[in-house]
Chains A and B, each alone.
Chain A
Amino acid sequence: MILSALGEQELLKRLTQGALVIRSGPFKFRISSTIENIAQDLDVLYADYPVCNPSEFADFNLALEQGVGVRRWWRRQVRFQFDGLYPFEPLPISHAYPQLEWAMNWCISTQAHFYLMLHSAVIEREGFAAIMPAPPGSGKSTLCAALVNRGWRLLSDELALISLPDQLIFPLARPVGLKNDSIDIIKAYAPNALLNRVTHDTTKGSVSHMKASPDHVNRMNEPAAPRWIVFPKYVKNSPAELTAYSKAHSMLELGRNAFNYSLLGRDGFEILSKVVAKSDCYQLVYSEFDEAVSIFDSLALKAASKD
């Protein structure tokens, strides 16, 4: 069953009773909250995701609670609770939805050490995955959002989940986080894309999430093999240009942008070096989406004709 089939009443009931279990890629999230607006956002962004029987095992059990004491009524707050812990400071209640998305990422990146987890966007074409690592602010999520609206499949805008035994990358197919100017840029570039309402004044500025295409959600069990590592860089007014990047540097950069590379120790090193060995590594400077997309498309075409 998918979430949209639950209906508004049932969704709200499950959400308040800790009985809402949503699957995203390999993970099941049990989500509970009494904050009214969360159901609306879930209804928009997670309509196509499988919901599981509440009596099933969920990987992560997270709750978005209301503030305590006067904060229940006055300057209301949201507090993320996981296994009885409150990992973050409370936020204003209007930030509840982005807090949920961040909390889901936090659960995965701090607990799922059965994957090598890189801080990267991952997209797929012809069965091949492109890893786009980048420090925040380099436009990786925005470029990822553009590409998945032009024929590339979304695996994740945030987290590359690399399987330890075979280095396949597993999709999460979760909504793509967009912030500030990117929100309008993507709305203009992909008018059919569905975004939820914007939350203003968060630590990242104004944020919104773009719904993943139903087709990508349906294919969230299909992993992809790493084929390219592309470091994107947005440079205003610059023509798009792809240049080869050394594998050694790519490895260092990926390790630096990983969630658990050092935690996995030697295994982390060996798995990451296999990923880099299998991939062509590039730097991409761009300013226009269309130019960047055609560069990505030509990479896919070349790879498809070779194999």
Chain B
Amino acid sequence: MPDLLSPVWAAIGDAPPSYTPREWESLLGQARRSGLLARLALHFSDRGWTATIPERVALHMSSALRHVERQKTEVFWEIDQIRKALKNVPTPIVLLKGAAYLFANLPPSKGRIFSDIDIMVDAKKLEDVERALFAAGWISAERDPYNQRYYRQWMHEIPPLRHVTRGTTIDLHHTIAPPTSRFKVDSNLLLQQIRATNANGLFVLGQSDMVLHSAAHLYQEGEFDHALRDLLDMRDLIAHFAAEPDFWPSLLSRAKEIGLEEPLFHALTHVQRLFGLSIPQDTATDLEALRPGRLKNACLGALLREAFRPNHPDCDTASTRLARWLLYVRSHSMRMPLHLLLPHLLRKAFMAHFPPKDPAPNTTQEQ
């Protein structure tokens, strides 16, 4: 069965898509897998297609909507707890991704599912922030000393912090891409353009930076479970920001300034291909100038095309699996140079085969 999901957003006319019962089932599964079921439901109602949804499908959509509504309440509350925990640390707390869309009241927050809460702080304040969060009950979920060191030495975030009683997770970043990667981003440049939200002490990235973060994330990721969601986030952000006339030129110049032209180029190509994003003519010309070398572009484009299909057995083929595997390998090679990467992968392989005596608890079977 094909990717039924992204064409729903690409449809231009007013005619609702029509499906066989079995296709509805697959659409539902693909949307669930991509974390987009609630968003799909809202899209159908925005387009006035609700009446075409079979009763049973509508029930499952209502279930997903209830789930995201509840999550929204919980995330607001949780972020308020974070804000309180950090009120004596004199540094701006920058919300990233879902939390940012929610607090800045941006379109992608509608129906969006959360996994973790992502925040970014000035690298110089990282220790103070971590200490204050620790005092409020967030402790590192990573117990393995090697992994701890790996994160802290090479990554753009510290290991996830989990709250001792509530089990909620914070990803604490000090920039948006690994410092060892080809696309390292100077966090000072990002911090210069942050914007305040209505909540005291909480900030979000500048408009262009928000789009670029999403692009950088997609481009460097080795896992694609949320790829379609992230692409839709970009589409919705751009559609919203593009109401301001200088959005496109400033997005492009900002991409050059912080060194993310290549991720932006690829992300926009796929948002356009999948969801029919319209890019103004002069921007399209400028964008063309960012196009990476032809061969590389063609290969990577083809791999991403495969990988951005919903990660659901109905649309899995040998080539999607191969593409995801190649991109997974690539994501590692981009994160760090080979002389760091090889020892790391060897170490990880060793750890997988000979797990430590007291491994971190696996997901227990809740039955």
Residues in chain A within 8 A of chain B (CB atoms): 30, 54-59, 61, 63, 81, 83-85, 87-89, 102, 105-106, 111-114, 203-204, 262-265
CA distance A112 to B316 in the complex (A): 26
Chain A residue with minimal CB distance to B70?
A263
Contact B367 A203 (CB under 8 A): yes
A81 proximity list for chain B (CB < 8 A): 313
20 A-B pairs, CB-CB below 8 angstroms?
A55-B20, A57-B21, A57-B22, A57-B24, A57-B54, A57-B56, A81-B313, A83-B32, A83-B33, A83-B313, A88-B365, A89-B362, A89-B365, A112-B63, A113-B62, A113-B63, A114-B62, A203-B367, A204-B367, A265-B73
CA distance A282 to B30 in the complex (A): 45
Indicate which residue in A55, A102, A264 contacts B66 across the interface (CB closer than 8 Å): A264
Contact B363 A57 (CB under 8 A): no
B66 proximity list for chain A (CB < 8 A): 113-114, 263-264
Q: From residue B31, how far is it (CB to closest CB) to chain A in Å?
A: 9
Chain A residue with minimal CB distance to B29?
A83
Contact A59 B60 (CB under 8 A): yes
Q: From residue A234, how far is it (CB to closest CB) to chain B in Å?
A: 21
CA distance A283 to B25 in the complex (A): 43
B329-367 vs A, Cβ < 8 Å mask (1 yes, 0 no): 000000000000000000000000000000000110111
| B51-72 interface with A by 8 A CB criterion | 54, 56-57, 59-60, 62-63, 66-67, 69-70
CA distance A102 to B69 in the complex (A): 27
Given A57-B54, A102-B367, A265-B70, do A111 and B63 touch, yes or no (CB 8 Å)?
Answer: yes
Count of chain A to chain B residue pairs whose CB atoms are closer than 8 Å in the complex: 72
Q: From residue A257, how far is it (CB to closest CB) to chain B in Å?
A: 14
CA distance A87 to B362 in the complex (A): 11
In the assembled complex, B311 has its CB within 8 A of some CB on chain A: yes
CA distance A61 to B310 in the complex (A): 16
In the assembled complex, B312 has its CB within 8 A of some CB on chain A: yes
| Category for how many chain B residues contact A | 20 to 34
CA distance A81 to B60 in the complex (A): 19
Contact A30 B59 (CB under 8 A): no
CA distance A264 to B33 in the complex (A): 22
B60 proximity list for chain A (CB < 8 A): 59, 111, 114
Contact B367 A57 (CB under 8 A): no
Contact B24 A114 (CB under 8 A): no
Q: A83-B30, A89-B363, A114-B59 are in contact. List 7 more A-B contacts (CB 8 A).
A: A56-B21, A57-B54, A84-B33, A88-B363, A113-B63, A262-B70, A263-B67
B362 proximity list for chain A (CB < 8 A): 89
CA distance A265 to B68 in the complex (A): 12
A56 proximity list for chain B (CB < 8 A): 21-22
A88 proximity list for chain B (CB < 8 A): 363, 365, 367
Chain A residue with minimal CB distance to B65?
A113
| B7-23 interface with A by 8 A CB criterion | 20-22
A113 proximity list for chain B (CB < 8 A): 62-63, 66-67
CA distance A56 to B19 in the complex (A): 12
CA distance A56 to B32 in the complex (A): 19
A61 proximity list for chain B (CB < 8 A): 25, 29
Residues in chain B within 8 A of chain A (CB atoms): 20-22, 24-25, 29-30, 32-33, 54, 56-57, 59-60, 62-63, 66-67, 69-70, 73, 310-313, 316, 362-363, 365-367
Indicate which residue in A57, A83, A87, A105 contacts B57 across the interface (CB closer than 8 Å): A57
Contact B63 A114 (CB under 8 A): yes
Q: From residue B4, how far is it (CB to closest CB) to chain A in Å?
A: 13
Chain A residue with minimal CB distance to B56?
A57
Shortest Cβ-Cβ A-B pairs, 8 listed: A57-B21, A113-B63, A102-B367, A83-B33, A83-B29, A84-B312, A114-B59, A113-B66
Contact B313 A63 (CB under 8 A): yes
B316 proximity list for chain A (CB < 8 A): 84
Q: From residue A63, how far is it (CB to closest CB) to chain B in Å?
A: 7
CA distance A63 to B32 in the complex (A): 16
A57 proximity list for chain B (CB < 8 A): 21-22, 24-25, 54, 56-57
Contact B63 A58 (CB under 8 A): no
Contact A55 B62 (CB under 8 A): no
CA distance A262 to B73 in the complex (A): 11
A105 proximity list for chain B (CB < 8 A): 367
B73 proximity list for chain A (CB < 8 A): 265
CA distance A57 to B316 in the complex (A): 20
Contact A84 B313 (CB under 8 A): yes
CA distance A111 to B25 in the complex (A): 14
Chain B residue with minimal CB distance to A103?
B367
Indicate which residue in B25, B57, B367 contacts A30 across the interface (CB closer than 8 Å): B25
Q: From residue A70, how far is it (CB to closest CB) to chain B in Å?
A: 12
Chain A residue with minimal CB distance to B31?
A83
Contact A84 B311 (CB under 8 A): yes
Contact B365 A58 (CB under 8 A): no
CA distance A58 to B20 in the complex (A): 12
B363 proximity list for chain A (CB < 8 A): 87-89
Q: From residue A88, how far is it (CB to closest CB) to chain B in Å?
A: 5
CA distance A85 to B29 in the complex (A): 10
CA distance A106 to B366 in the complex (A): 9
A264 proximity list for chain B (CB < 8 A): 66, 70
Chain B residue with minimal CB distance to A264?
B66
Contact B57 A203 (CB under 8 A): no
CA distance A55 to B19 in the complex (A): 12
Contact A85 B33 (CB under 8 A): yes
Q: From residue A160, how far is it (CB to closest CB) to chain B in Å?
A: 17
CA distance A111 to B29 in the complex (A): 11
B69 proximity list for chain A (CB < 8 A): 265
B63 proximity list for chain A (CB < 8 A): 111-114
Q: From residue B38, how far is it (CB to closest CB) to chain A in Å?
A: 11
B59 proximity list for chain A (CB < 8 A): 114
Given A56-B21, A83-B312, A84-B313, do A203 and B70 touch, yes or no (CB 8 Å)?
Answer: no
A102 proximity list for chain B (CB < 8 A): 365, 367
CA distance A271 to B312 in the complex (A): 35
